[in-house]
Structure 1
Amino acid sequence: MTTYSGVSPDTFVQAQDWATFERLRRQAQFLLQARRYKETIDLALKAIALFPEDPRPYALVAYAMARQKRPEAPEWALKAIARQPENVLWRTALSDTYTLRGKWKQALKPMSEAVAMDPTNPRLQSMLGLILLHRRRPKEALPYLERSLELDPTNALTHQRMSIALSKLLGKNKRAEEHLRKALELQPDNPAIKNTLGWRLLGRGHREEAETAFYEALRVDPTQAASKLGLGAPAGIKKGPSDIILRGALRLYSIPYRIILAPASAVMAIEIPWLILTLGGSWLVKGVSLTLATWGWCYILSLVYVRVIGKRRGIQFV
């Protein structure tokens, strides 16, 4: 959205109209960065009325609508593509209108096209890796994230994404930690990276350290939903029953060795009651068995509950 290689407007309109168009477009871009989305759309539409063949205002409308979670946002990115199909920016904008609304499946195709059009752009490589992470394809995400770091080794968010991708693969935890440490070294106050650190610590049972990371993220950005979830903070002003349950679920969620406990708990929750019903046993055996089965159910349900509440609050787990 920074350059436009179309025909100069001086050949068919007055210079004053073009100056008005540029002023409206720049104001709309500023308002987009200021998160004033309704005003962004209004000014961009006025710019479109002056020069409907310039793709830039269409992309501004697309981004503003995507931030508002409006489903028609991709249509405006497609209008930008139709006016300048050879420009990679508009394919990127189309993909972004999906990622901003959590539509990772739909975002994959336009971002893949953008990467093919501009294979040396580290931001596009990193974004494609992130999309594949959200599509539960960490192994496929790795080459794009690695390529992005080759092009720009100082990008903290790409190191964070590499850490997430590697943590999903067996035997890669050491490398995952190296990339997370590098991300923190490059941007120690980045709230997104702090959130990754917090949830990583929480999953290992380091609850106090995790809470410190969440509080640091909230200090930088008080709107961080992932940090509030990790702390068990209520979504609204008042605490409700769901928030009380969330705090209890987080205590079970923070027990370390989840990779072992999760399948073991599933087996205990399902197999033990079945064995009691079919084989029987003494009251002592039944009591111990039912206690273990109940604990298994509580543990599994706590993992599910944290994710369900997180998704309700708009958090995208990877």
Structure 2
Amino acid sequence: MSSRPAPAPVVDPEAILARARLTFDIEAEAVSGLKNRVGPSFVEAVRKILEVRGRVVVMGMGKSGHVGRKIAATLASTGTPAMFVHPAEASHGDLGMIKAVDLVLAISNSGEVDELTVILPVVKRQGVPLIAMTGRTESTLARHADIVIDAGVSKEACPLNLAPTASTTAQMAMGDALAVALLDARGFGSEDFARSHPGGALGRKLLTHVSDVMRSGDDVPRVAPDASISELMRAMSNKGFGAAAVVEPDGRASGIFTDGDLRRLIEAGADLRSPKAVDVMHRNPRTIRVDALAVEAAELMEQCGITRLFVIDGEGVVVGAINTNDLMRAKVI
């Protein structure tokens, strides 16, 4: 006898939207409620973490474990060395990863998770400071902790009040608050953040210098002041830069000539046989120092409405060239 498939649930758009909006309200209320509960224990937790010579070891089971991994990653990327250790694995050898110079941040809404509570006495015997982030300040986890951070919520967004929803949102927000407070206390700045995120957009902007992306050596189009127009054209064409620097014998740039300048001369019917580079160049060209950030080159180009710059050293000698295509390839713009 074949069984018939169960009928598809009836979709009520209004009910779905109402549940979504109620979820937002409940979780927003959970996060907002944390403001009234952070106090001396939160300050003490920040102070204790700042004193740690090792790492913050974050632990948690289930959904709290997923939150814990995110908190550890956020701490590590904002100046606080941290890692996540799974409590179940800790009972089978990973406790050896925790040293006396470390600090444990244990996360559990109930504070009674067996895999976590069973290892707490061992952590305490090692003399490792323990911070608990829990929704129950009288739980087993809280009793073992040196510092308790209250991340409790009045109810979950789950209509059964069972699935961790508002509680995990509150844990996430409390973890972010810890990370940001620590970041601020350490004086952790944008350059520090960039060093932790070299592959990100901010990292590229704050760590990439003009010297990293510029053309140099024979790739820099340059001519002497007495060069002919044909020599200027060959320099621009061979180097594919769309411009050439007019360089004095000491290596300093006295002018620039671009493909746009050439086009305008042709449109004006100018005689291109007799002029020298010094006669047609634009004097005092825009330049940028070789040790400047690449993003500064991009900003200067945008401000001046140009697409290329010649690069100079501390003595004003032309050592390179850079254009918007070079900056785009480096993902600076």
TM over 0.5: no
| TM-score normalised by length of structure 1 | 0.21
Report which of the two has the higher share of strand.
Answer: 2
Report which of the two has the higher share of helix.
Answer: 1
| TM-score normalised by length of structure 2 | 0.20
Higher relative contact order, structure no. (Cα contacts within 8 Å, ≥ 6 residues apart): 2
